[in-house]
Chain A
Protein backbone atom coordinates (compact mmCIF):
# COMPACT_ATOMS: atom_id res chain seq x y z
CA UNK A 1 0.00 0.00 0.00
CA UNK A 2 3.01 2.14 0.67
CA UNK A 3 4.41 1.78 -2.81
CA UNK A 4 1.21 2.96 -4.38
CA UNK A 5 1.79 6.45 -3.02
CA UNK A 6 5.52 6.66 -3.69
CA UNK A 7 6.71 9.21 -6.21
CA UNK A 8 10.01 9.44 -7.99
CA UNK A 9 9.80 13.12 -8.98
CA UNK A 10 10.63 14.40 -5.51
CA UNK A 11 14.37 13.64 -5.41
CA UNK A 12 14.97 17.30 -6.16
CA UNK A 13 12.47 19.95 -5.12
CA UNK A 14 12.47 23.72 -4.75
CA UNK A 15 12.81 24.59 -1.08
CA UNK A 16 10.90 27.52 0.41
CA UNK A 17 12.05 27.90 4.03
CA UNK A 18 10.27 31.19 4.76
CA UNK A 19 11.13 33.82 7.36
CA UNK A 20 10.26 31.83 10.48
CA UNK A 21 12.77 29.14 9.57
CA UNK A 22 15.47 31.78 9.50
CA UNK A 23 14.37 33.04 12.93
CA UNK A 24 12.58 31.18 15.73
CA UNK A 25 12.24 28.06 13.62
CA UNK A 26 15.91 27.72 12.67
CA UNK A 27 16.06 24.29 14.34
CA UNK A 28 13.32 23.14 11.95
CA UNK A 29 15.33 24.49 9.02
CA UNK A 30 18.48 22.82 10.20
CA UNK A 31 16.87 19.44 10.89
CA UNK A 32 14.98 19.48 7.58
CA UNK A 33 18.17 20.06 5.62
CA UNK A 34 20.02 17.48 7.70
CA UNK A 35 17.53 14.68 7.09
CA UNK A 36 17.37 15.60 3.40
CA UNK A 37 21.12 15.01 3.20
CA UNK A 38 20.88 11.76 5.12
CA UNK A 39 18.08 10.49 2.89
CA UNK A 40 19.76 11.60 -0.31
CA UNK A 41 17.10 14.16 -1.20
CA UNK A 42 17.99 17.40 -2.87
CA UNK A 43 16.65 20.77 -1.66
CA UNK A 44 17.24 23.77 -3.90
CA UNK A 45 16.35 26.98 -2.11
CA UNK A 46 14.14 29.36 -4.08
CA UNK A 47 16.24 32.13 -5.46
CA UNK A 48 15.80 35.51 -3.75
CA UNK A 49 12.49 34.53 -2.14
CA UNK A 50 10.23 36.89 -0.22
CA UNK A 51 7.98 36.47 2.83
CA UNK A 52 4.60 34.81 2.13
CA UNK A 53 2.76 37.34 4.31
CA UNK A 54 2.12 34.81 7.09
CA UNK A 55 -1.28 35.24 8.75
CA UNK A 56 -1.13 39.01 8.72
CA UNK A 57 -0.87 40.49 5.24
CA UNK A 58 -4.18 39.05 4.03
CA UNK A 59 -5.83 41.25 6.66
CA UNK A 60 -4.31 44.27 4.93
CA UNK A 61 -5.29 42.89 1.52
CA UNK A 62 -5.82 39.30 0.35
CA UNK A 63 -4.48 39.99 -3.13
CA UNK A 64 -1.22 41.37 -1.77
CA UNK A 65 -0.84 38.13 0.13
CA UNK A 66 -1.48 36.19 -3.09
CA UNK A 67 1.06 38.34 -4.88
CA UNK A 68 3.70 37.51 -2.28
CA UNK A 69 3.04 33.78 -2.73
CA UNK A 70 2.95 33.65 -6.52
CA UNK A 71 6.13 35.70 -6.84
CA UNK A 72 7.97 32.81 -5.15
CA UNK A 73 6.14 30.16 -7.13
CA UNK A 74 6.83 31.95 -10.42
CA UNK A 75 10.55 32.14 -9.62
CA UNK A 76 10.61 28.41 -8.86
CA UNK A 77 8.91 27.63 -12.17
CA UNK A 78 10.20 30.19 -14.63
CA UNK A 79 13.66 31.03 -13.32
CA UNK A 80 14.64 27.70 -11.79
CA UNK A 81 12.66 25.24 -13.89
CA UNK A 82 11.23 23.43 -10.86
CA UNK A 83 7.87 21.66 -10.77
CA UNK A 84 7.50 21.12 -7.04
CA UNK A 85 7.86 23.60 -4.18
CA UNK A 86 8.31 22.17 -0.69
CA UNK A 87 7.45 24.40 2.27
CA UNK A 88 7.97 23.06 5.82
CA UNK A 89 6.12 25.95 7.50
CA UNK A 90 2.35 25.53 7.73
CA UNK A 91 1.85 29.26 7.15
CA UNK A 92 3.91 29.34 3.95
CA UNK A 93 2.40 26.06 2.76
CA UNK A 94 -1.12 27.33 3.41
CA UNK A 95 -0.54 30.63 1.64
CA UNK A 96 0.97 29.06 -1.45
CA UNK A 97 -1.98 26.65 -1.60
CA UNK A 98 -4.43 29.50 -1.11
CA UNK A 99 -2.82 31.48 -3.92
CA UNK A 100 -2.97 28.43 -6.19
CA UNK A 101 -6.66 28.06 -5.36
CA UNK A 102 -7.40 31.71 -6.01
CA UNK A 103 -5.59 31.94 -9.35
CA UNK A 104 -7.35 28.75 -10.41
CA UNK A 105 -10.84 29.82 -9.39
CA UNK A 106 -10.98 33.61 -9.24
CA UNK A 107 -10.87 35.67 -12.39
CA UNK A 108 -10.38 38.84 -10.35
CA UNK A 109 -7.26 37.43 -8.66
CA UNK A 110 -5.77 36.37 -11.97
CA UNK A 111 -6.25 39.86 -13.40
CA UNK A 112 -4.84 41.69 -10.39
CA UNK A 113 -1.81 39.42 -10.17
CA UNK A 114 -1.12 39.61 -13.90
CA UNK A 115 -1.07 43.38 -13.68
CA UNK A 116 1.30 43.32 -10.74
CA UNK A 117 3.59 40.80 -12.42
CA UNK A 118 3.73 42.96 -15.55
CA UNK A 119 4.56 46.07 -13.59
CA UNK A 120 7.39 44.40 -11.75
CA UNK A 121 8.69 42.66 -14.84
CA UNK A 122 8.14 39.19 -13.41
CA UNK A 123 6.76 36.18 -15.23
CA UNK A 124 3.06 35.60 -14.70
CA UNK A 125 2.14 32.65 -12.53
CA UNK A 126 -0.38 30.33 -14.18
CA UNK A 127 -2.50 27.75 -12.36
CA UNK A 128 -0.58 24.49 -12.00
CA UNK A 129 2.83 25.95 -12.85
CA UNK A 130 4.16 24.32 -9.69
CA UNK A 131 2.80 21.89 -7.15
CA UNK A 132 3.15 22.99 -3.54
CA UNK A 133 3.79 20.29 -0.96
CA UNK A 134 4.48 20.24 2.77
CA UNK A 135 7.60 18.68 4.34
CA UNK A 136 5.34 15.83 5.48
CA UNK A 137 4.21 15.08 1.90
CA UNK A 138 7.80 15.27 0.80
CA UNK A 139 9.11 12.54 3.16
CA UNK A 140 5.93 10.49 2.87
CA UNK A 141 5.99 10.38 -0.94
CA UNK A 142 9.73 10.55 -1.66
CA UNK A 143 10.81 8.00 0.97
CA UNK A 144 7.70 6.31 2.35
CA UNK A 145 7.26 4.36 5.56
CA UNK A 146 8.79 1.05 4.51
CA UNK A 147 11.89 2.64 3.14
CA UNK A 148 12.17 4.88 6.18
CA UNK A 149 11.79 1.95 8.58
CA UNK A 150 14.65 0.18 6.82
CA UNK A 151 16.95 3.15 7.39
CA UNK A 152 16.23 3.57 11.09
CA UNK A 153 19.37 3.28 13.24
CA UNK A 154 17.95 4.17 16.66
CA UNK A 155 14.33 3.16 16.91
CA UNK A 156 12.16 5.70 18.72
CA UNK A 157 10.50 2.82 20.57
CA UNK A 158 9.48 3.71 24.09
CA UNK A 159 8.80 7.31 23.10
CA UNK A 160 5.13 8.23 23.31
CA UNK A 161 4.29 10.90 20.79
CA UNK A 162 1.20 13.06 20.26
CA UNK A 163 1.20 14.47 16.74
CA UNK A 164 0.04 18.05 16.48
CA UNK A 165 -0.78 19.44 13.01
CA UNK A 166 -2.50 22.73 13.84
CA UNK A 167 -4.89 24.67 11.61
CA UNK A 168 -3.15 25.74 8.46
CA UNK A 169 -2.13 22.27 7.27
CA UNK A 170 -5.71 21.10 6.76
CA UNK A 171 -8.07 24.09 6.77
CA UNK A 172 -9.99 25.23 4.87
CA UNK A 173 -10.40 22.01 2.91
CA UNK A 174 -11.08 23.60 -0.47
CA UNK A 175 -7.51 24.86 -0.86
CA UNK A 176 -6.20 21.28 -0.49
CA UNK A 177 -7.97 19.44 -3.34
CA UNK A 178 -5.56 16.49 -3.05
CA UNK A 179 -6.56 15.75 0.54
CA UNK A 180 -9.50 13.52 1.57
CA UNK A 181 -9.10 11.46 -1.61
CA UNK A 182 -9.28 8.06 0.01
CA UNK A 183 -6.53 5.61 0.82
CA UNK A 184 -3.04 7.00 0.58
CA UNK A 185 -4.13 10.61 0.76
CA UNK A 186 -4.01 12.93 3.74
CA UNK A 187 -7.16 13.55 5.77
CA UNK A 188 -8.29 17.03 6.76
CA UNK A 189 -10.25 15.83 9.78
CA UNK A 190 -7.77 13.26 11.07
CA UNK A 191 -4.41 13.97 9.49
CA UNK A 192 -2.01 11.03 9.80
CA UNK A 193 1.13 11.60 7.68
CA UNK A 194 3.23 12.56 10.71
CA UNK A 195 1.78 9.60 12.64
CA UNK A 196 2.69 7.25 9.77
CA UNK A 197 6.27 8.49 9.53
CA UNK A 198 7.01 8.53 13.25
CA UNK A 199 5.44 5.12 13.69
CA UNK A 200 7.71 3.85 10.94
CA UNK A 201 10.60 5.29 12.98
CA UNK A 202 9.52 3.09 15.88
CA UNK A 203 7.67 5.60 18.03
CA UNK A 204 4.53 4.79 19.97
CA UNK A 205 2.00 7.19 18.47
CA UNK A 206 -0.85 8.02 20.84
CA UNK A 207 -4.45 8.61 19.77
CA UNK A 208 -4.51 12.41 20.13
CA UNK A 209 -7.90 14.14 19.85
CA UNK A 210 -6.53 17.68 19.43
CA UNK A 211 -4.39 17.09 16.34
CA UNK A 212 -5.94 20.02 14.51
CA UNK A 213 -6.97 22.23 17.44
CA UNK A 214 -5.90 25.86 17.24
CA UNK A 215 -2.93 27.09 19.33
CA UNK A 216 -3.96 30.73 18.89
CA UNK A 217 -0.82 31.31 16.83
CA UNK A 218 -2.27 34.30 15.00
CA UNK A 219 -2.63 36.14 18.31
CA UNK A 220 0.27 34.62 20.14
CA UNK A 221 1.43 38.07 21.24
CA UNK A 222 -1.61 40.25 20.57
CA UNK A 223 -4.02 38.22 22.72
CA UNK A 224 -1.73 36.28 25.05
CA UNK A 225 -4.41 35.12 27.45
CA UNK A 226 -6.48 33.44 24.75
CA UNK A 227 -3.37 31.81 23.27
CA UNK A 228 -2.24 30.53 26.65
CA UNK A 229 -5.64 29.02 27.22
CA UNK A 230 -5.73 27.31 23.83
CA UNK A 231 -2.18 26.00 24.19
CA UNK A 232 -2.87 24.73 27.68
CA UNK A 233 -5.81 22.72 26.27
CA UNK A 234 -3.49 21.06 23.80
CA UNK A 235 -0.75 20.38 26.34
CA UNK A 236 -3.14 18.95 28.90
CA UNK A 237 -4.85 16.76 26.31
CA UNK A 238 -1.45 15.39 25.27
CA UNK A 239 -0.61 14.77 28.90
CA UNK A 240 -3.92 12.95 29.38
CA UNK A 241 -2.91 10.69 26.48
CA UNK A 242 0.32 10.07 28.42
CA UNK A 243 2.43 11.51 25.61
CA UNK A 244 6.06 12.39 26.42
CA UNK A 245 6.48 14.44 23.29
CA UNK A 246 4.33 16.64 21.10
CA UNK A 247 5.65 16.37 17.55
CA UNK A 248 5.21 19.50 15.46
CA UNK A 249 5.47 20.40 11.79
CA UNK A 250 5.11 24.20 11.92
CA UNK A 251 7.43 26.83 13.40
CA UNK A 252 4.56 29.05 14.55
CA UNK A 253 2.73 26.22 16.33
CA UNK A 254 5.99 24.95 17.75
CA UNK A 255 7.11 28.23 19.27
CA UNK A 256 3.53 29.00 20.32
CA UNK A 257 3.40 25.78 22.33
CA UNK A 258 6.85 26.43 23.81
CA UNK A 259 6.09 30.04 24.76
CA UNK A 260 2.68 29.50 26.23
CA UNK A 261 3.74 26.39 28.12
CA UNK A 262 6.10 28.70 29.99
CA UNK A 263 3.50 31.45 30.22
CA UNK A 264 0.88 29.05 31.63
CA UNK A 265 3.36 28.09 34.30
CA UNK A 266 4.33 31.67 35.10
CA UNK A 267 0.92 33.32 35.00
CA UNK A 268 -1.52 30.51 35.84
CA UNK A 269 0.76 28.28 37.87
CA UNK A 270 -0.12 25.28 35.69
CA UNK A 271 2.84 23.07 34.85
CA UNK A 272 2.64 20.57 32.00
CA UNK A 273 5.07 17.76 31.16
CA UNK A 274 5.20 17.14 27.39
CA UNK A 275 8.18 18.53 25.47
CA UNK A 276 8.01 19.80 21.92
CA UNK A 277 10.15 18.49 19.07
CA UNK A 278 9.90 19.04 15.31
CA UNK A 279 9.06 15.83 13.48
CA UNK A 280 12.22 16.34 11.44
CA UNK A 281 14.26 16.31 14.65
CA UNK A 282 12.59 13.06 15.72
CA UNK A 283 13.17 11.44 12.34
CA UNK A 284 16.75 12.71 12.41
CA UNK A 285 17.37 11.03 15.77
CA UNK A 286 15.93 7.80 14.40
CA UNK A 287 18.22 8.04 11.40
CA UNK A 288 21.21 8.33 13.73
CA UNK A 289 21.93 12.06 13.39
CA UNK A 290 23.28 13.76 16.51
CA UNK A 291 21.00 16.08 18.53
CA UNK A 292 23.35 18.99 17.98
CA UNK A 293 23.17 18.65 14.22
CA UNK A 294 19.38 18.60 14.51
CA UNK A 295 19.34 21.78 16.58
CA UNK A 296 17.69 20.11 19.58
CA UNK A 297 19.67 22.35 21.95
CA UNK A 298 18.17 25.35 20.22
CA UNK A 299 14.56 24.53 21.10
CA UNK A 300 13.12 26.56 23.96
CA UNK A 301 11.42 23.42 25.25
CA UNK A 302 14.09 21.36 26.96
CA UNK A 303 13.90 17.79 25.72
CA UNK A 304 17.44 16.43 26.12
CA UNK A 305 16.75 15.06 29.60
CA UNK A 306 13.86 12.98 28.31
CA UNK A 307 15.78 11.81 25.25
CA UNK A 308 18.68 10.73 27.45
CA UNK A 309 16.33 8.89 29.76
CA UNK A 310 14.85 7.05 26.80
CA UNK A 311 18.33 6.15 25.57
CA UNK A 312 18.02 8.15 22.38
CA UNK A 313 21.02 10.39 23.02
Chain B
Protein backbone atom coordinates (compact mmCIF):
# COMPACT_ATOMS: atom_id res chain seq x y z
CA UNK B 1 0.00 0.00 0.00
CA UNK B 2 1.36 3.47 -0.74
CA UNK B 3 1.97 5.54 2.34
CA UNK B 4 0.59 9.04 1.99
CA UNK B 5 0.97 10.12 5.60
CA UNK B 6 4.62 9.30 6.11
CA UNK B 7 4.90 11.97 8.79
CA UNK B 8 2.72 9.84 11.05
CA UNK B 9 5.04 6.86 10.92
CA UNK B 10 8.34 6.50 12.73
CA UNK B 11 11.02 6.80 10.04
CA UNK B 12 12.78 3.61 11.15
CA UNK B 13 9.61 1.60 10.49
CA UNK B 14 9.42 2.72 6.88
CA UNK B 15 10.99 0.52 4.21
CA UNK B 16 11.71 2.09 0.86
CA UNK B 17 13.02 0.35 -2.25
CA UNK B 18 14.42 2.04 -5.31
CA UNK B 19 13.48 -0.91 -7.47
CA UNK B 20 11.17 -3.63 -6.38
CA UNK B 21 9.75 -6.55 -8.23
CA UNK B 22 7.21 -8.76 -6.53
CA UNK B 23 6.02 -11.87 -8.38
CA UNK B 24 7.11 -10.33 -11.66
CA UNK B 25 5.17 -7.16 -11.03
CA UNK B 26 7.30 -4.03 -10.99
CA UNK B 27 6.28 -1.98 -7.94
CA UNK B 28 9.18 0.48 -8.00
CA UNK B 29 8.80 4.14 -7.11
CA UNK B 30 5.78 5.46 -5.27
CA UNK B 31 4.39 2.00 -4.63
CA UNK B 32 7.47 0.59 -3.03
CA UNK B 33 7.22 2.14 0.45
CA UNK B 34 6.10 -0.20 3.21
CA UNK B 35 5.56 -0.05 6.92
CA UNK B 36 7.45 -2.70 8.79
CA UNK B 37 5.03 -4.89 10.68
CA UNK B 38 5.83 -5.30 14.32
CA UNK B 39 4.17 -6.55 17.43
CA UNK B 40 4.54 -4.78 20.73
CA UNK B 41 5.36 -7.07 23.62
CA UNK B 42 6.97 -4.83 26.19
CA UNK B 43 3.86 -3.38 27.81
CA UNK B 44 4.01 -1.85 31.24
CA UNK B 45 0.57 -2.85 32.46
CA UNK B 46 0.99 -0.63 35.50
CA UNK B 47 1.88 2.53 33.57
CA UNK B 48 -1.40 4.41 33.91
CA UNK B 49 -1.51 3.66 37.62
CA UNK B 50 2.07 4.84 38.09
CA UNK B 51 1.43 8.11 36.34
CA UNK B 52 -1.82 8.73 38.14
CA UNK B 53 0.10 8.54 41.43
CA UNK B 54 2.08 11.66 40.53
CA UNK B 55 0.77 15.16 41.27
CA UNK B 56 -1.68 16.16 38.54
CA UNK B 57 -2.14 12.71 37.01
CA UNK B 58 -5.17 11.56 39.00
CA UNK B 59 -7.75 11.81 36.19
CA UNK B 60 -5.81 10.36 33.29
CA UNK B 61 -8.19 7.36 33.14
CA UNK B 62 -11.08 9.59 32.04
CA UNK B 63 -9.60 10.45 28.63
CA UNK B 64 -11.63 9.47 25.59
CA UNK B 65 -9.07 10.69 23.05
CA UNK B 66 -11.03 13.52 21.48
CA UNK B 67 -7.84 15.45 20.80
CA UNK B 68 -9.14 18.82 21.99
CA UNK B 69 -6.11 19.21 24.27
CA UNK B 70 -3.54 18.86 21.51
CA UNK B 71 -5.66 21.01 19.24
CA UNK B 72 -5.62 23.91 21.66
CA UNK B 73 -2.11 23.44 22.99
CA UNK B 74 0.27 26.44 23.09
CA UNK B 75 3.43 24.33 22.82
CA UNK B 76 1.98 22.10 20.09
CA UNK B 77 1.60 25.23 17.97
CA UNK B 78 5.37 25.72 18.19
CA UNK B 79 6.39 22.08 18.10
CA UNK B 80 4.02 19.52 16.49
CA UNK B 81 5.80 16.69 18.33
CA UNK B 82 4.39 18.04 21.59
CA UNK B 83 1.20 15.99 21.71
CA UNK B 84 -0.68 15.60 25.03
CA UNK B 85 -3.47 13.46 23.55
CA UNK B 86 -0.98 10.97 22.14
CA UNK B 87 1.03 10.71 25.36
CA UNK B 88 -2.12 10.09 27.37
CA UNK B 89 -3.02 7.37 24.86
CA UNK B 90 0.38 5.69 25.21
CA UNK B 91 0.30 5.91 28.99
CA UNK B 92 -3.12 4.29 29.12
CA UNK B 93 -2.04 1.51 26.77
CA UNK B 94 1.10 0.88 28.80
CA UNK B 95 3.47 1.68 25.93
CA UNK B 96 6.34 2.96 27.99
CA UNK B 97 9.06 2.64 25.33
CA UNK B 98 6.98 4.57 22.84
CA UNK B 99 6.41 7.31 25.41
CA UNK B 100 10.11 7.55 26.13
CA UNK B 101 10.78 8.74 22.59
CA UNK B 102 9.41 12.15 23.59
CA UNK B 103 10.96 12.26 27.04
CA UNK B 104 13.07 15.33 26.27
CA UNK B 105 10.13 17.61 25.50
CA UNK B 106 7.29 16.58 27.82
CA UNK B 107 8.44 18.93 30.59
CA UNK B 108 8.04 21.92 28.26
CA UNK B 109 4.30 22.30 28.95
CA UNK B 110 3.90 25.97 29.92
CA UNK B 111 0.80 25.43 32.09
CA UNK B 112 -1.37 27.72 29.98
CA UNK B 113 -4.41 25.58 30.90
CA UNK B 114 -5.83 25.69 27.39
CA UNK B 115 -6.16 21.90 27.43
CA UNK B 116 -7.87 21.74 30.82
CA UNK B 117 -10.15 24.56 29.67
CA UNK B 118 -11.41 22.59 26.66
CA UNK B 119 -11.19 18.99 27.87
CA UNK B 120 -14.72 17.53 27.84
CA UNK B 121 -13.79 14.80 30.32
CA UNK B 122 -12.13 16.82 33.08
CA UNK B 123 -8.86 14.94 32.62
CA UNK B 124 -6.89 18.07 33.58
CA UNK B 125 -4.30 17.27 30.91
CA UNK B 126 -2.07 20.10 32.11
CA UNK B 127 -1.66 18.20 35.36
CA UNK B 128 -1.02 14.97 33.46
CA UNK B 129 1.91 16.67 31.67
CA UNK B 130 3.42 17.55 35.05
CA UNK B 131 2.79 14.03 36.32
CA UNK B 132 4.46 12.58 33.22
CA UNK B 133 7.57 14.66 33.65
CA UNK B 134 7.86 13.83 37.35
CA UNK B 135 7.33 10.16 36.53
CA UNK B 136 10.11 10.30 33.92
CA UNK B 137 12.47 11.64 36.53
CA UNK B 138 11.39 9.24 39.28
CA UNK B 139 11.93 6.25 37.00
CA UNK B 140 15.38 7.50 36.07
CA UNK B 141 14.48 8.10 32.43
CA UNK B 142 15.49 11.76 32.51
CA UNK B 143 17.46 14.00 34.82
CA UNK B 144 15.49 16.64 36.67
CA UNK B 145 14.14 19.17 34.20
CA UNK B 146 14.85 22.88 34.59
CA UNK B 147 11.22 23.33 35.42
CA UNK B 148 11.39 20.74 38.18
CA UNK B 149 14.41 22.49 39.70
CA UNK B 150 12.39 25.67 39.69
CA UNK B 151 9.38 23.99 41.35
CA UNK B 152 11.58 22.50 44.05
CA UNK B 153 13.37 25.74 44.81
CA UNK B 154 10.01 27.45 45.10
CA UNK B 155 8.53 24.76 47.29
CA UNK B 156 11.54 24.75 49.62
CA UNK B 157 11.28 28.47 50.25
CA UNK B 158 7.57 28.31 50.97
CA UNK B 159 8.07 25.33 53.21
CA UNK B 160 10.72 27.19 55.21
CA UNK B 161 9.13 30.62 55.53
CA UNK B 162 5.60 30.57 54.09
CA UNK B 163 6.62 33.17 51.53
CA UNK B 164 9.04 33.53 48.67
CA UNK B 165 11.59 36.19 47.84
CA UNK B 166 12.01 36.40 44.09
CA UNK B 167 15.65 37.49 44.07
CA UNK B 168 16.59 34.45 46.12
CA UNK B 169 14.58 32.14 43.86
CA UNK B 170 16.37 33.45 40.78
CA UNK B 171 19.84 33.23 42.32
CA UNK B 172 19.31 29.74 43.73
CA UNK B 173 17.72 28.51 40.53
CA UNK B 174 20.63 29.72 38.40
CA UNK B 175 23.00 28.11 40.90
CA UNK B 176 21.19 24.77 40.90
CA UNK B 177 21.09 24.56 37.13
CA UNK B 178 24.60 25.93 36.65
CA UNK B 179 23.58 28.87 34.47
CA UNK B 180 25.59 32.08 34.51
CA UNK B 181 23.89 35.14 35.98
CA UNK B 182 25.87 37.43 33.70
CA UNK B 183 23.93 37.00 30.48
CA UNK B 184 23.68 40.19 28.41
CA UNK B 185 19.89 40.32 28.45
CA UNK B 186 19.76 39.81 32.23
CA UNK B 187 22.29 42.55 32.78
CA UNK B 188 20.36 44.96 30.59
CA UNK B 189 17.18 44.14 32.42
CA UNK B 190 18.71 44.75 35.82
CA UNK B 191 20.17 48.03 34.57
CA UNK B 192 16.74 49.18 33.38
CA UNK B 193 15.32 48.18 36.72
CA UNK B 194 17.90 50.00 38.80
CA UNK B 195 17.66 53.17 36.74
CA UNK B 196 14.03 53.63 37.71
CA UNK B 197 14.07 52.59 41.32
CA UNK B 198 13.96 55.18 44.06
CA UNK B 199 16.79 54.77 46.56
CA UNK B 200 14.43 53.96 49.43
CA UNK B 201 12.89 51.09 47.53
CA UNK B 202 16.24 49.66 46.55
CA UNK B 203 17.19 49.85 50.19
CA UNK B 204 14.01 48.01 51.17
CA UNK B 205 14.57 45.34 48.53
CA UNK B 206 18.13 44.93 49.72
CA UNK B 207 16.83 44.44 53.24
CA UNK B 208 14.37 41.79 52.12
CA UNK B 209 17.24 39.66 50.88
CA UNK B 210 18.85 39.96 54.31
CA UNK B 211 15.69 39.64 56.35
CA UNK B 212 13.63 37.20 54.35
CA UNK B 213 9.89 37.81 54.23
CA UNK B 214 8.22 35.35 56.57
CA UNK B 215 4.79 34.23 57.64
CA UNK B 216 4.63 34.23 61.43
CA UNK B 217 3.96 31.01 63.36
CA UNK B 218 4.60 28.96 60.26
CA UNK B 219 6.19 25.92 61.88
CA UNK B 220 2.93 23.98 62.37
CA UNK B 221 2.00 24.55 58.75
CA UNK B 222 5.46 23.47 57.70
CA UNK B 223 5.03 20.30 59.68
CA UNK B 224 1.69 19.32 58.31
CA UNK B 225 2.84 20.04 54.72
CA UNK B 226 5.90 17.85 55.22
CA UNK B 227 3.75 15.10 56.68
CA UNK B 228 1.45 15.11 53.66
CA UNK B 229 4.34 15.08 51.22
CA UNK B 230 6.04 12.20 53.02
CA UNK B 231 2.85 10.18 52.96
CA UNK B 232 2.41 10.83 49.23
CA UNK B 233 5.99 9.86 48.49
CA UNK B 234 5.57 6.60 50.35
CA UNK B 235 2.40 5.79 48.41
CA UNK B 236 4.17 6.51 45.14
CA UNK B 237 7.16 4.43 46.09
CA UNK B 238 4.92 1.46 46.80
CA UNK B 239 3.20 1.77 43.46
CA UNK B 240 6.48 2.08 41.56
CA UNK B 241 8.14 -0.78 43.46
CA UNK B 242 5.08 -3.00 43.22
CA UNK B 243 5.49 -2.72 39.51
CA UNK B 244 9.21 -3.42 39.48
CA UNK B 245 8.74 -6.58 41.57
CA UNK B 246 6.15 -8.14 39.28
Contact = CB atoms under 8 A, between A and B. Distances in A.
B218 A50 contact: yes
Contact of B221 (A19, A71, A214): A71
Nearest to A57: B155
User: 9 shortest A-B CB distances, which residue pairs?
Assistant: A214-B112, A222-B146, A171-B113, A56-B154, A23-B166, A50-B162, A266-B185, A172-B116, A297-B196
Contact of B158 (A53, A170, A173, A300): A53
A61 B56 CA distance: 8
Interface of B: 55-56, 74-75, 78, 108, 110-114, 116-117, 122, 124, 127, 130, 134, 145-152, 154-155, 158, 162-167, 170, 173-174, 177, 184-185, 188-189, 192-193, 196-198, 201, 205, 208, 213, 215-218, 220-221, 223-225, 227-229, 232
User: What interface size band does chain A fall in?
Assistant: 35 or more
Nearest to A119: B224
A170 B116 CA distance: 11
Nearest to B165: A23
Contacts, number: 182
B158 A230 contact: no
Contacts of A258: 189
B158 A226 contact: no
Interface stretch (A62-70, A132-140, A200-208): A62-70
Contacts of A56: 150-151, 154-155
B147 A54 contact: no
B117 A60 contact: no
B154 A300 contact: no
Contacts of A227: 110
B151 A60 contact: yes
A163 to B, nearest CB: 18
If over half of A's interface residues share one DSSP class (helix, strand or loop), that class is named, otherwise mixed; here it is helix
Interface in A218-254: 218-219, 221-223, 226-227, 229-230
> Which of A116, A121, A229 has the most C-beta atoms of chain B within 10 angstroms of its own C-beta?
A116
A222 B149 contact: yes
A242 B149 CA distance: 39
Given A222-B146, A226-B78, A58 B55 contact: yes
Nearest to B131: A59
Contacts of A71: 221
B224 A59 contact: no
B42 to A, nearest CB: 29
A299 B196 contact: yes
A216 B130 CA distance: 15
Interface centre among B124, B149, B173, B188, by most A CB within 10 Å? B188
Interface in A3-61: 19-20, 22-24, 26, 48-51, 53-61
B197 A298 contact: yes
B177 to A, nearest CB: 8
Contacts of B215: 48-51
A60 B152 contact: yes
A214 B147 contact: no
A259 interface: yes
A22 B208 contact: yes
B111 A267 contact: no
Nearest to A27: B196
Contacts of A68: 158
B153 to A, nearest CB: 8
Interface centre among B78, B134, B225 (most CB of A within 10 A): B225
A157 interface: no
A57 B154 CA distance: 7
B232 A61 contact: yes
A48 B165 CA distance: 16
Interface string A174-188: 100000000000001
Contact of B56 (A23, A62, A67, A167): A62
